[in-house]
Structure 1
Amino acid sequence: MYEKELAAIGRSGRFREPIMADPKTIDMASNDYLGLAHRKKLFERACKRVGKYPWHAPKASLFLGGYHPIHRDFETALREANGFEAGIVVGSGFLANLGLIEALVRRNDVLFVDESYHASGMVAAKLVQGKVVPFRHNDPEDLSEKLSRTPVGKRGRRLVAVEGVYSMEGDVVKREILELADESDAVTIVDEAHSGGTMGPRLLGVFDHYGIVPGPRHVKMGTLGKAYGSYGAYILASEEIVAFLHNRAKPLIYTTAPSLFDIALAQEGFEHIAKKRELLKRRIARRKAVVEEMTGRYPESMIVPFPVEDIPTLMRYRRRLAESGFDVGAIRPPTVERPMLRIILRTPVKPKAYRRLFRALGDL
């Protein structure tokens, strides 16, 4: 039924299949930045946390009795630590972006979105009632020009959507972009999937990194399946915006509430990061220093892209690195414009292993 389409994908070198991690290789591909997915004590504590209650699954949507003290407690911990008025737990980062953007961008509004924003946000942008204006990746000048020459409708709003750390490029959103959004009274949506837990004095992400005190127009979205070692997502915002999402965001209303165990596990990870913050920051800095030592460039984040000329070469490099004991992500178009190996700086991986990897890359 889809034979021709599958054949075309295969000819382009873009055919995907699920990949099972090989425990014999060193994981430099996953988003488990801090290694919390391997910490059995966090798993056991999460089991105990859920086991205190008479049921272990949410059973219904947030608005039909599925809201649970485990959800509430984690929302409270997140909003208090990050300085927001309110929070919501969500089933996944994809659902969070989908719900946020589809709900908040109304008929007379304009959404200004970085052209490298996550696919979930781009899907949502196709569903909105308002106007969508992409701007060049991490380019304050382009955003400024488009903000100045794009009118909003009567009683309309401006919204700006960016990522804290861009998942492919690994670069950090420029502060000037956040300042431009504030100056234009825009609602600023920051996807902190790859920055939460990995940057800032308290490892809370980009708001923390830049010392920005959240205001009523700031919205922070983050995922739990990366640095926090679990699965799911959250949204932090003002009480007004959270109340609006409760009443308009379809991925919140028309789905079962998030898994109790996943939220409990994320809270254990969140608390672990707070306790071990200084140690984790030293480990992160050490691995970034190795990248600088080996490449001459200090990475902004824990994502290091390595561009490759074409897809066949990319896949060959990935296989050769796997044979040498390194599991590295091979990212192909259309996810990225050019093929690349994506190296993740995970704190459980020793600095000497990254030195070996970069030497191996130099020999390819």
Structure 2
Amino acid sequence: MYEKELTALKKAGRFRQPISSDFESIDMASNDYLGLAHKSKLLKLAFKKLSHYPYHAPKSSLFVGGYHPIHQEFEDALCKANQFEAGVVVGSGFLANLGLIEALVRRSDVLFIDESYHASGMVATKLVQGKVVLFKHNDPDDLLKKLNSTQLKGRRIIAVEGIYSMEGDMVRREFFEISEKFDALMIVDEAHSSGTVGPNLLGVFDHYNIKPNSLHIKMGTLGKAYGSYGAYILGSREIVSFLHNRAKSLIYATAPSLFDIALASTNFDYIMRKKEKLKRKIDRLKDQVRAKMGVYPEGMIVPVEIPDIETTMRIRDILKSQKFEVGAIRPPTVSKPILRIILRTSVKPKHYRKLFDQIDACLR
């Protein structure tokens, strides 16, 4: 039924299939930035936390008895650390962006969204009742131009990422200033910045020393630095209450897995306790990138642009044969193919030196 489409994808070099991680290879592809997915001690602590309760699954949605003390405990911890009034846990980052954007952008509102925003947000733009305006990637001047030239009757809402998942760059501070100037709600997707940037490893609010206010909304995932699965949204009490009542991905979905939230909570506590040590490891890895490539990464994502899809896949396979796992990202996810290298604190700096040397050799 879909043979022609699948054949076309294969010919274009865009065919995808699941890839299992090789336990014997050095993982430089996954988003497990802090290596917490490998810490069995934290896994056991999370299991112990959950075992104190009479059941181990949420059983229903948040609003039909599925809200559990484990959910609330984690929400409270996130709010306290990030200085937000309220929060809600969500089943995944995709569901968080989908529910957040679809719910907040009402009929008379305008959403201004970075053209490189995550696919989950772009899918959500197809569902909103209001108008959607794309602005150039991480370009505050283009956003200002479009804010000034777009008429509206309702709210302005700006959507950016803390660290962009493919480019690896950090949202510019000017966006926060623009949000204040135009009294615009600001959604910050911190999927790749929570746990990786800022003096307390809390993300870009922490990095820029910005105290959250009623205009700010922070979304983050638990499947990256926090070493689990799921997501969260932080905001004012009013915003979170509105999402409770309007976000379909919250209302019509089973509440997040109790074990995943218990694990994320355990891992978050670990990060807060060990943040200084983790920060030193992150800085050492970034120093390696600067030494080899002349650029100091803003986050933990290092994209290496490759001339074409065929070369991208060939180099990825060569690296794999040498026990280096990296991501090969192809259009339409990105405009030009890249090798996406993830800096992980559990990987020794010497392995990154070897990796970059090998990539250089393959490109000669």
State TM-score, norm by structure 1: 0.99
Shift of 1:11: 1.1
Q: Partner of 2:95: helix, strand, or coil?
A: helix
Q: Deviations over 1:200-242 (max 9, x none)?
A: 0110000000001000010000000000000000000000000
Structure-2 residue corresponding to 1:165: 163
Match of 2:88 in 1: 88
Distance 1:311 1:119 in 2: 21
Alpha-carbon displacement from aligned partner over 1:131-175 (angstroms, at most 9, x marks no partner): 00000000011000001110112xx00000000000000000000
Could you tell me how far 1:23 is from its partner in structure 2? 1.1
Provide the residue aligned with 1:244 in structure 2. 242
1:292 positional shift: 0.5
Q: Shift in Å at residue 356 of structure 1?
A: 0.5
RMSD, aligned CA: 0.5
Do structure 1's residue 320 and structure 2's residue 310 form an aligned pair? no
C-alpha separation in 1, matches of 2:165 and 2:297: 13
d(CA) in 2 for partners of 1:355 and 1:245? 46
For residues 1-364 of structure 1, the aligned pairs below 5 Å read 1-153=1-153, 156-364=154-362
Whether contact under 8 Å (1:66, 1:256) holds in the other structure is: yes
Q: 1:7: how far off?
A: 1.0
For 1:88 and 1:182, the matched residues in 2 are separated by: 24
Aligned-pair CA distance for 1:295 = 1.0
CA distance in 2, matches of 1:151, 1:206: 30
* Inter-partner Cα distance in structure 1 for 2:67 and 2:24: 41
CA distance in 2: counterparts of 1:178 and 1:238, whole angstroms:
16
SS in 1 for 2:121: helix
Deviations 1:85-114 (A, max 9, x none): 000000000000000000000000000000
CA contact (8 A) 1:182 1:188 kept: no
After TM superposition, give the deviation of residue 24 of structure 1 in Å.
1.5
Q: Distance in 1 between matches of 2:230 and 2:342?
A: 20
Whether the aligned pair in 2 keeps the contact of 1:110 and 1:159 (CA below 8 Å) is yes
Give the Å deviation of 1:10: 1.1
In 1, the alpha carbon distance for the partners of 2:204 and 2:315 equals 33
Partner SS state of residue 297, structure 1: coil
Distance 1:89 1:177 in 2: 26
Cα distance between partner residues in 2 of 1:32 and 1:250 = 29
Q: Secondary structure at the match of 1:276?
A: helix
Q: 1:12 offset after TM fit, Å?
A: 0.8
TM-score by length of 2: 0.99
Q: Partners in 1 of 2:2 and 2:49 — Cα distance? A: 46
Point out where structure 2 has 5 or more consecutive residues left out of the alignment.
none
| Aligned residue-pair number | 362
1:73 maps to a residue whose letter is E
Q: Quick one: distance in 2 between partners of 1:181 and 1:132?
A: 16
Tell me the distance in 2 between the aligned counterparts of 1:224 and 1:21: 19
CA deviation after TM superposition for structure 1 residue 266, in Å: 0.1
Q: SS state of the match for residue 197, structure 2?
A: coil
CA distance in 1, matches of 2:358, 2:9: 30
Instruction: Give secondary structure in 1 for the equivalent of 2:171.
Output: coil
Work out the percentage of aligned pairs sharing the same amino acid.
Answer: 67
Counterpart residue identity of residue 148, structure 1: N
Structure 1: runs of 5+ lacking an equivalent = none
Report runs of 4+ in structure 1 exceeding 3 Å deviation.
none
SS at match of 1:55: coil
